[in-house]
């Protein structure tokens, strides 16, 4: 009983240690604003207010439970981006990624290193500080689109190969079926020939008896 209890406790501890705040739920506007400096975020209006050029606001993930397994994040702006800026993705032990967007852009898709522990993602604008209103956020899991495209490309080839296989099989079997159909006819003719050969000596014997009786 003690051993079972110890195993159960160990499993619970392992599960608890493996859980990351963002492992199951991608970054959203609900948890936006935990990272940044010289800026503010109003969750009610989804508006970022910058106090100067290249100040930032975004998500703080941290190095204790970094985010992995995502290859991109798309941020949509309500009414388009008020000014040109960039999205910066920082990692633990790897160079950061920077993706720029222009004034008026409806959205920006920033690349994320899927195999590197991401610790922070934030938005910046350059030039005169202007409010930036966000509309939505979506994330792309690593390799999410690739398998579907591969299957779609390979499916026709496999279908054609399967479609041609029966035709080839029928073409190869056709000659074998033709002799098989003639075989019974040859077999049926053999007994008739044997019967005729067997009857000939009997007829000759009867004819000899008949001739001897006349003499």
147: pLDDT confidence band, cut at 50, 70 and 90?
very low
Share of the chain above pLDDT 70, in %: 55
Q: Kindly tell me if the per-residue pLDDT of 79 is higher than 80.
A: yes
Residue pLDDT, tens place only, 1-22 = 455 544 544 443 433 333 334 4
Architecture of the 22-142 domain: Sandwich (2.60)
What distances in angstroms separate CA 152 from CA 12, 35, 162, 164, one per listed residue? 41, 40, 16, 19
The domain spans of the chain are 22-142
Mean pLDDT taken over the chain:
72
Query: Cβ(69)–Cβ(142) under 8 Å?
Result: yes
Could you tell me the two tokens for 10? Answer: 């160990």
- Beta carbons within 8 Å of 45's beta carbon, 6+ residues apart: 133
Grouping H, G, I as helix, E, B as strand and the rest as coil, residue 42 is: strand
Residue pLDDT, tens place only, 28-71 = 999 999 999 999 999 999 999 999 999 999 999 999 989 999 99
């Amino acid at each position: 009983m003690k051993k079972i209890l110890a195993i159960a406790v160990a499993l619970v501890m392992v599960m608890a240690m493996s859980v990351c705040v963002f492992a199951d739920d991608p970054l959203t506007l609900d948890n936006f604003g935990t990272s940044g400096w010289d800026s503010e975020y109003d969750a009610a209006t989804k508006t970022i207010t910058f106090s100067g050029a290249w100040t930032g606001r975004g998500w703080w993930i941290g190095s204790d439970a970094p985010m992995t397994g995502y290859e991109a994040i798309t941020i949509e702006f309500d009414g388009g981006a008020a000014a040109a800026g960039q999205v910066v993705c920082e990692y633990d032990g790897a160079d950061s990624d920077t993706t720029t967007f222009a004034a008026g852009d409806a959205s920006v898709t920033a690349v994320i290193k899927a195999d590197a522990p991401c610790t922070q993602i934030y938005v910046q604008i350059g030039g005169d500080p202007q409010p930036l209103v966000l509309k939505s956020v979506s994330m792309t899991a690593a390799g999410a689109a690739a398998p579907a495209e591969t299957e779609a490309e390979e499916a026709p080839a496999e279908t054609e190969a399967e479609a041609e296989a029966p035709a080839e099989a029928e073409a190869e079997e056709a000659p074998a079926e033709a002799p098989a159909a003639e075989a019974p006819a040859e077999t049926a003719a053999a007994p008739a020939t044997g019967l005729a050969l067997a009857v000939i000596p009997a007829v000759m014997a009867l004819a000899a008896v008949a001739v001897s009786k006349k003499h």
